Amino acid sequence: MDTTEFRTAAKAAIDEIADYHDKVSSRRVVSDVQPGYLRPLLPPSAPLDPEPFEAIRADIQDKIMPGITHWSSPGFMAFFPASSSYPAAIAEMYSNAFSGAHFNWICSPAVTELETIVLDWLAQALGLPECFTSAGSTRGGGVLHGSASEAILTVMVAARDKYIAARTAHLGDGEEREEETWRLRSKLVAVGSAGAHSSTKKAAQVLGVRFATVPIREEDGLAMTGDALARTLDELAARGLEPFYLTTTMGTTDVCAVDDFPGIADVLGARAAAGSAELFVHVDAAYAGSALLLPENQHMAAAWSRFHSFNFNPHKWMLTTFDCSATFVRSRADLVAALSINPPYLRNQFSDSALVTDYRDWQIPLGRRFRSLKLWFVLRSYGIRGLQAHIRNGVAMGEKLEGRLASRKDLFVLFTRARFGLLSLRVAGRDEDEVNARTETVYEAVNAAGKFYLTSTVVGGKFAIRVCLGVPSVREEHVQGVFEALVTQAERVCGHLPN
């Protein structure tokens, strides 16, 4: 494909993409193809000779589109959104044009410097403590990863090395220190609540350390409390184990619960004052972190000045096309100490002088994408006020659905009220078994119809339907539509309507 052919093909693709977004609400949300559908539609091997681009474009519509689940549809109310926008899409085009691995400052100075600047903008817009900015008092800053799971693994590596270094600092460099290091490694425990995302457990599995869960209760809003954490830490210490890392959560995956950050900070502060080893505390706000753009939510971040890292995904609720996951640390030295390797082929006069940031030392892989470009485009194209309006729409839609469900108490029980545009519900019944069975039946029926896509959860043995209304195109008519779909199916299973 030469430049002329590229211009023609790219313009046609942009038109098709724009048409797709304009008409996505008319499509079935979830693909209804069967596993293995695609292989019979494609040749058994790659072509030996070039094919015309028109044939490739046609296959997008005929072969790929039937197997796409439409995350940008207003009927997509599952999981959390993976929101996009035209400014982010355009930025991705530029990023692809400037293709490179961008691991050192010298690889493309603008890539590194824009990331530092934009993440400082973002920290300010979210109301984060100053320790998470590049010029903050603790020499912290932000970095863009691919996902919140990647961020958790990265900071857990830093937490492990920081903890072991502190616990062996009194020993000299020799066999005694090495033996104590390996003894400690066998006792390390990463901690998260029962509501924390599974990525914490997976990171512990990858690192070969233990994982312990802090219990949560409905009466606490399914949030982790300081008291529950203290009990768990005491139990682990009594077993001779070494808790070194903790994931706290703003907006749990199941129900968008918010952990008791001040209580957790107080408990850990008191334990440190009594001589306990310091825990590295991470805040996982993958979805709900975008809600910090609203001033009324920024009080939640006050306690984080006593924590070590924070992460959220602009690619979920902030109109920044996947993937873009913002991670902030109070001390960049924690990451660099654990992740920096400096072979001769990576050295250069700028890195060796410590005048620049090399983000390769803030992540597990070496290469990295120009993700900050799309974040920059989004922040400039919408402005903070435009992004706030988008977040407030999701919040308002959640509250509207909550109000509608509350009007049918004969059919529904709110499991958790709307928070950050997400709520969970159950279908009324005589006992827990009937409630679970009815709720699951309604859930499966609504999804089978194809107009809406919801996901479910099970908390404490209770099956609940999650509805997340953060997709940018969701409006009141879609809220009414999913409410009517839920009512229709609930009336059937509750015996109000014939099957």
Q: What does the domain layout of the chain look like in residue ranges?
A: 100-368, 380-494
The pLDDT of residue 172 is 81
Amino acid of residue 27: R
DSSP state of 26: G
Q: What six digits make up the tokens of 15?
A: 């038109």
Q: How far is CA 43 from CA 29, 37, 50, 52, 484, in A?
A: 28, 13, 14, 16, 44
What is the predicted pLDDT for the residue at 367?
86
> Residue 473's pLDDT is what?
94
268 closest CA partner among 232, 240, 319, 220: 232
Rounded distance, CA 290 to CA 260, Å?
A: 19
In the prediction, which pLDDT does 174 show? 83
pTM (2 d.p.): 0.94
Element (H, E) at 490: helix 476-493
The reply to whether omega before 323 is within 30° of 0 (cis) is: yes
Least confident segment among 27-36, 170-179, 311-320, 413-422: 170-179
Tell me what pLDDT residue 366 has: 84
DSSP state of 453: B
pLDDT above 90 (res 276): no
Running DSSP on this structure, what letter comes out for residue 60?
I
pLDDT(384) > 80? yes
Question: According to DSSP H, which parts of 24-147 are helical?
Answer: 53-59, 86-97, 109-126
Fold designation for 100-368: Aspartate Aminotransferase; domain 2 (3.40.640)
What is the phi/psi pair of residue 133, to 5°? -100, 160
The pLDDT of residue 350: 66
pLDDT of residue 171: 86
CB-based contacts of 15, cutoff 8 Å, min separation 6: none
Which CATH topology does 380-494 take?
A: Aspartate Aminotransferase, domain 1 (3.90.1150)
CA distance 390 to 387: 5
Distance CA 226, CA 221 (A): 14
Contact (Cβ atoms closer than 8 angstroms) between residue 485 and residue 497: no
Provide the mean pLDDT of the chain. Answer: 94
CA dihedral (446, 471, 84, 369) positive or negative? negative
Reduce the DSSP state of residue 98 to 3 states and report it: coil
- What per-residue confidence (pLDDT) applies to 175? 86
Q: Residue 422 and residue 392: Cα distance in Å, rounded?
A: 12
Query: Looking at residue 341, what is its pLDDT?
Result: 81
Once rounded to an integer, what is the mean pLDDT over residues 99-105?
Answer: 83
pLDDT confidence band for 100 (50 / 70 / 90): confident
Q: How far apart are CA 191 and CA 427, in angstroms?
A: 33
For a pLDDT cut of 70, what percent of the chain falls above it?
Answer: 98
Convert the pLDDT of each residue in 50-79 to its tens digit: 999 999 999 999 999 999 999 999 999 999
Residue 196 has pLDDT above 60, yes or no: yes
Is residue 357 pLDDT above 60, yes or no? yes
In this model, does residue 499 exceed pLDDT 60?
no
Whole-number pLDDT of residue 321: 92
Average pLDDT over residues 172-189: 90
Per-residue pLDDT for 497 more than 70?
no
Query: Could you tell me the CA-to-CA distances from 68 to 20, 60, 71, 76, 79 in Å, in that order?
Result: 12, 10, 9, 12, 16
Which secondary structure element, helix H or strand E, spans residue 333, and what is its range?
Answer: helix 332-339
Location of structure tokens 């109310």:
77
The C-alpha atoms of residue 499 and residue 344 are separated, in whole angstroms, by 72
Distance CA 171, CA 180 (A): 9
Question: Residue 345: pLDDT above 90?
Answer: no
Flag whether pLDDT at 176 surpasses 80.
Answer: yes
**Residue 347 in this model has a pLDDT that exceeds 80:** no
Given a contact cutoff of 8 angstroms between Cβ atoms, the answer to whether 190 and 200 are in contact is: yes
Token pair 């681009």: residue? 53
> Do 285 and 311 contact (CB within 8 A), yes or no?
yes
